[in-house]
A and B are shown apart, each in its own frame.
Chain A
C-alpha cells in the first residue's frame, strides 16, 4: 500500500466517522418510526424487525393528529418567508446601493441582531405580544420571526447585490428604465440565486424554530416542532410516534436541501468570502 493510498484511506475513515456522528440520530429516527412501540423498547435494540407504518398512521390520522400542526408550521414558515423577502429585497438593494446617513449603523444593527442570544429577549417579546393580544396568533409569531429573519435575509442578500456592477444599472437608466423597472428587470434576475438561497434559509429557520414557538404559541397556533412534545409525557414517551413526527418534520428540510443544494453551497461560499457567520 502506497503512502498516498494510506492517506486517502485515513481521510475516508475520518469522514465516515463524522458522517456517522451526523447521520446516526437521523437513521435512529427513521428506524424507530418504522417500529412498534414494543420493538423500540426492546433490549438489545433490534436491527431486524417487521417495519410498520402504524406510527405514521397514528400521528397523521389518529386522535392526536399533527396535521393541524404541520399546517401551522407551513403557514408560519411560508408567511415569514414571503413577508421577509418582500421587505428584504428592496432593503438589501438600498443598503448595497444608496448612500444615506446611518448606513453604517444600519449594517451594524443587522449584524447585532444575529449575535443576540434569543433567550435574552424571549420574555420582553412575550410581554409585548400579550399586551397587544397576539399570543397564539399567526401574526404574532410571524412578527417575532421577522425580527430575526429580516436582518438575516438583508445581510445575506446585500452581498449578492454588491456583486452587481453599478454600470449595469446606469446602462439600464440610459436605456430609459426607471429605478423600479431596473430593479425588477435587470437587478433581481441577476441575484435570483441569492434570493433562492435566502428563501431556503429563511424558510428553514422558521420551520425549525422551537424556542420562540414554545413560548409564544398556544392551542390554536402550534407548529410541529412544539406539537412533537405531545408524545412526551410524565408517564411515558411514545418513541415510535415521536420518531415518526420528527421524520415528517425533517422531510421539507431534506427536500429543500436537495433541491437547492447547488445554490446553498454557493450561498455559503459567498458568505465565507465576505467574512460572516450565520444563525
Chain B
C-alpha cells in the first residue's frame, strides 16, 4: 500500500448564500483506502468531492492531504486525478491524446508518453481504440477512457463522482468489479461518490453516509449495515432497507401492534421508539406478530413479502421454497439482537 493519499476534512462548511450545502463535515481517509461518499441526491457528496479536488473553496474549515493544509492550494497543484460523471473527455482529441494530456502537462518527455498511455489504456482494455475520438466511443468505452486519463499520471488521490451512473445495469456490475481490482492493483487512495448504497457496500473499504449536508456515520459497510446510526441511514441502506416501525419500549421489550418482542437494545424507562427491523432478520414462527401477506415480489432465489401488521407495512425477505401465498396470514418474529431502537424525536440510534 502506498503511504500517500491520506485525507482529512476538518469542520468543512460550504454555504451557497443562506443555504448550507455542508454543515461542518469531518472525516479521515487512510492511504490506499477505497472510501465511498454515500447519500441521497442533494446531500452534499459532490460538493465534498469538489472541495477535496480544489474546484470549490469551502466557506470554513480545513482540508488536509498527507498532513499538509491544502485548503487554499490550486486544484492543479494538488496532484489529484478525477473521473467526472459526464466523463469530460476532450472531444477534439483522440483517446490517446486525451490520456496523454495530463502527462504533457506534467512535462513528461515525449518518448515516455506513448508507452505510458498505451499501458494505461491496456489496463482498462481500450488499447485498440486509441485513434478514435470520444464521439466515436460507446458510453462504456468513454467511461474507460476517462478512467485511463485519471490513472495514467499516478496521482496520489483518485476521485470518482458517480462514474458508473451513465452505464446500463449489466455494464455497471462488470465495471464495478474491475474498478475495485484496478484500485487494488494501483494501491491508490480512491474517493468514490455514489447515491447507490449497493455500489458503496460492495466497493468501499469504508464509507461516509451523508444526510442533508452532514455526515451521519462513518464506518465499514458491514458496520453501517449492522448498526445504522440514525433512522435516515437505516431507511437508506439495504435492499429493501430496514423496516422502521413506531413502537413502545417497556423495560426490555418493544410492543409493536400489540405484540411484545424481546430486545437486547436498552433505553431508560418507558417511552415511544422507532423499531428498526431488517427484512432479512425477520422469520416466521408460531405465536409471533400476526401479519397478512399483501404482495409477493419473487426475486428468484429469495422473495420479498409486503406484510400488513395491523395497519403497519413491514417487508420481509424469505428464502425460496418457504413462500406463503398472497392473502395468507402468517406470524413473524425477530431475534432480540436484531431489533434496533431509534429515538423518534432526534432520529438517532438509542
Seen from chain A, the residues whose Cβ lies within 8 Å of a Cβ on chain B are 165, 167-168, 170-178, 181, 185-186, 189-190
Contact = CB atoms under 8 A, between A and B. Distances in A.
Interface residues of B, number: 20
A171 B91 contact: no
A181 B53 CA distance: 19
B106 A176 contact: yes
Contacts of B86: 165, 167
A174 B92 CA distance: 18
B21 to A, nearest CB: 17
A266 B106 CA distance: 37
A165 B88 contact: yes
B105 A168 contact: no
A176 B76 contact: yes
B101 interface: yes
Contact of B88 (A171, A178, A189): A171
B84 A181 contact: no
Nearest to B161: A167
25 contacts: A165-B86, A167-B88, A168-B88, A171-B84, A172-B90, A172-B101, A173-B74, A173-B75, A173-B76, A174-B55, A174-B81, A174-B82, A175-B101, A175-B105, A175-B153, A176-B76, A176-B106, A177-B76, A177-B105, A178-B76, A185-B101, A186-B90, A189-B92, A190-B90, A190-B92
Contacts of B102: 175-176
Nearest to A175: B102
Contacts of A168: 88, 90
B80 interface: yes
Contact of A170 (B74, B84, B106): B84
Nearest to B81: A174
A175 B90 CA distance: 12
The residue in B55, B74, B92, B105 that gathers the most chain A C-beta atoms within 10 A of its C-beta is B105
B183 to A, nearest CB: 18
A41 to B, nearest CB: 57
Given A175-B101, A175-B149, A177-B101, 18 more contacts: A165-B88, A167-B86, A170-B53, A170-B55, A170-B82, A171-B90, A172-B90, A173-B55, A173-B75, A174-B75, A175-B76, A175-B81, A175-B102, A175-B153, A177-B76, A177-B105, A178-B76, A190-B92
Contacts of B53: 170, 174
The residue in A170, A175, A181, A190 that gathers the most chain B C-beta atoms within 10 A of its C-beta is A175
Interface string B304-348: 000000000000000000000000000000000000000000000
Contacts of A167: 84, 86, 88
Contacts of B101: 172, 175, 177, 185
B16 to A, nearest CB: 13
Contacts of B105: 175-177, 181
A190 B91 contact: yes
B134 to A, nearest CB: 11
The residue in A168, A171, A173 that gathers the most chain B C-beta atoms within 10 A of its C-beta is A171
A167 B50 CA distance: 11
A178 B75 CA distance: 10
A175 B84 CA distance: 12
Contacts of A186: 90
Contacts of A170: 53, 55, 75, 82, 84, 88
A168 B85 CA distance: 11
Nearest to A186: B90
A174 B90 CA distance: 13
Contacts of A171: 82, 84, 88, 90
Contacts of A190: 90-92
A167 B313 CA distance: 44
A54 to B, nearest CB: 50
A176 B90 CA distance: 14
Contacts of B84: 167, 170-171
Contacts of B81: 174-175
CB-CB nearest 10 A-B residue pairs = A176-B105, A171-B88, A175-B102, A167-B88, A189-B92, A173-B75, A167-B84, A173-B76, A176-B76, A174-B82
A170 B86 CA distance: 12
A108 B41 CA distance: 37
A242 to B, nearest CB: 46
Contacts of A181: 105
Contacts of B106: 176
